[in-house]
């Protein structure tokens, strides 16, 4: 009787084979990597970053290690998360809107929220930030656009960290607010014009392409380094899915979109922070979850592991 071998003979590099499988070396703390990808930074390279909660961790480490991390609007409380006062940007829609209002004339139909009880002005597109008057809000945002443009035009490397696919969309013009949070919804503000939905692969990929096209016009020398955040969803607005499944769907959708995006452009690169935390750490029999009430976050040991590999992969001055 004819028989076929289950495993045909191929030559694989160690990074192409699952750690510890068959005769492949076990995981040893060095994340498998195919080698140089065409992106090299040193401590003089102007680096900017924006995105979800994990973008803040990247910022902290780059500043601590004395890299040339771009910091605009250092006076502004929203700047602690990124290179300018963009606040946290959890989805690709909110991130795309930053590039559109920075370099174009993005003006949503409803730009500001007027809080019903406290009589403040809330910026729905930068999470929770409050002003005493509309004039103050407009003045601050005009300054912010200048700083935002300065940061994005200076950057030679821009790190983008994508977090989730759940969005709240304005049914009038399609603008996406960051989250339905803060005093406006809490005080009974009218949220009827917004609808919650789960964004899908094609539209997230389209947002990435839009960002790339804008940067290609305004800073063509900038290289984009894209990551998927390893921070899980704290809660889901979905009623058809549990939070763990919703988190997995978000990350899987974004990871697939990012893969196609990076493969399509010579100046875009992927950094596997998500895989290092959620797969490689368990392979090493380690947890990547934080302790305490924010246990959906990534612990400090995992952040150090991820950033050590960031320097190992991309920096000629590895820390």
Question: What value does the mean pLDDT take over residues 251-270?
Answer: 98
Q: What share of the chain has pLDDT > 90, as a percent?
A: 86
Token pair listed for 154: 């200076």
Q: What is the pLDDT of residue 2?
A: 62
Per-residue pLDDT reduced to its tens digit, 291-300: 999 999 899 9
pLDDT band at 210 (very low <50, low <70, confident <90, very high): very high
φ, ψ of residue 68 in degrees (nearest 5) = -85, 65
- 219: nearest Cα among 43, 70, 42, 56: 70
Domain ranges in the chain? 41-107+142-166+201-314
- To the question of pTM greater than 0.75 for the whole model, the response is yes
Q: What is the pLDDT of residue 144?
A: 97
Reply yes or no on whether the pLDDT at 55 is more than 90: no
Per-residue pLDDT reduced to its tens digit, 59-101: 999 999 999 999 999 998 888 899 999 999 999 999 999 999 9
Q: What is the pLDDT of residue 232?
A: 93
Integer Cα distance of 2 and 278 in angstroms: 42
Integer Cα distance of 94 and 155 in angstroms: 20
pLDDT band at 105 (very low <50, low <70, confident <90, very high): very high
- Which helix (H) or strand (E) covers residue 194, if one does? strand 194-198
Reply yes or no on whether the pLDDT at 317 is more than 70: no
Distance of alpha carbon 280 from the chain centroid: 20
Q: What is the pLDDT of residue 6?
A: 66
Per-residue pLDDT reduced to its tens digit, 9-34: 788 899 999 999 988 899 999 999 99
Q: Is 154 exposed, middle or buried (0-12, 13-18, 19+ CB in 10 A)?
A: middle
**DSSP letters along 203-255, please?**
HHHHHHHHHHHHHHHH-TTPEEEEEE--PPPS----SSS-HHHHHHHHHHHHH
- 271: nearest Cα among 49, 2, 94: 49
Token pair listed for 240: 């058809």
- For domain 41-107+142-166+201-314, give the CATH superfamily: SGNH hydrolase (3.40.50.1110)
Compute CA distances 80 → 58, 137, 204, 260, 310, whole Å.
11, 19, 26, 31, 21
Question: What value does the mean pLDDT take over residues 160-185?
Answer: 95
pLDDT band at 319 (very low <50, low <70, confident <90, very high): very low
Question: What value does the mean pLDDT take over residues 177-190?
Answer: 94
- Contact between 76 and 53 under an 8 Å Cβ cutoff? The reply is no
Q: What share of the chain has pLDDT > 70, as a percent?
A: 97
pLDDT band at 216 (very low <50, low <70, confident <90, very high): very high
Integer Cα distance of 94 and 51 in angstroms: 9
Q: What is the pLDDT of residue 4?
A: 63
- 51: nearest Cα among 237, 241, 207: 207
DSSP summary character for residue 130? E
Integer Cα distance of 33 and 14 in angstroms: 9
Q: Which residue has the higher pLDDT, 272 or 7?
A: 272
**DSSP letters along 258-304, please?**
HHHHHHH-TTEEE--HHHIIIIIHHHTT---BPSGGGTTSBPHHHHH
- Contact between 289 and 299 under an 8 Å Cβ cutoff? The reply is yes
Compute CA distances 248 → 44, 92, 208, whole Å.
37, 17, 20
Question: What value does the mean pLDDT take over residues 180-195?
Answer: 96
């Amino acid at each position: 009787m004819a028989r076929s071998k289950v495993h045909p003979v191929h030559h694989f590099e160690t990074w192409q084979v699952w750690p510890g499988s068959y005769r492949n070396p076990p995981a040893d703390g060095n994340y498998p990597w195919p080698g140089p990808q065409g992106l090299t930074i040193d401590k003089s390279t102007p680096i900017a970053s924006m995105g979800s909660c994990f973008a803040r961790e990247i910022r902290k480490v780059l500043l601590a290690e004395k890299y040339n991390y771009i910091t605009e609007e250092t006076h502004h409380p929203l700047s602690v998360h990124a290179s300018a006062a963009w606040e946290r940007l959890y989805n690709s829609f909110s991130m795309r809107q930053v590039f559109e209002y920075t370099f174009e004339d993005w003006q949503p139909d409803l730009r500001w929220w007027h809080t019903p009880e406290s009589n403040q002005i809330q910026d729905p597109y930068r999470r929770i930030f409050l002003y005493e008057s509309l004039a103050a809000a407009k003045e601050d945002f005009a300054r912010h656009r200048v700083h935002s443009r300065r940061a994005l035009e200076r950057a030679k490397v821009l790190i983008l960290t994508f977090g989730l696919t759940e969005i709240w969309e304005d049914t009038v013009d399609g603008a996406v607010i960051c989250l339905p949070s803060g005093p406006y919804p809490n005080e009974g503000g009218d949220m009827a014009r917004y609808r919650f939905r789960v964004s899908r692969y094609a539209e997230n990929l389209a947002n990435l392409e839009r960002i790339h096209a804008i940067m290609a016009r305004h800073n063509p020398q900038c290289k984009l380094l894209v990551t998927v955040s390893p921070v899980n969803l704290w809660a889901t607005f979905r009623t058809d899915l549990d939070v763990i499944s919703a988190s997995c769907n978000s990350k899987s959708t974004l990871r697939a979109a990012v893969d196609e995006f990076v493969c399509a452009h010579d100046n875009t690169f992927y950094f596997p922070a998500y895989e290092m935390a959620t797969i490689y750490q368990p392979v090493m029999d380690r947890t990547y979850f934080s302790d305490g009430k924010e246990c959906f976050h990534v612990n400090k040991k995992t952040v150090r592991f991820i950033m050590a590999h960031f320097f190992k992969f991309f920096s000629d001055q590895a820390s």
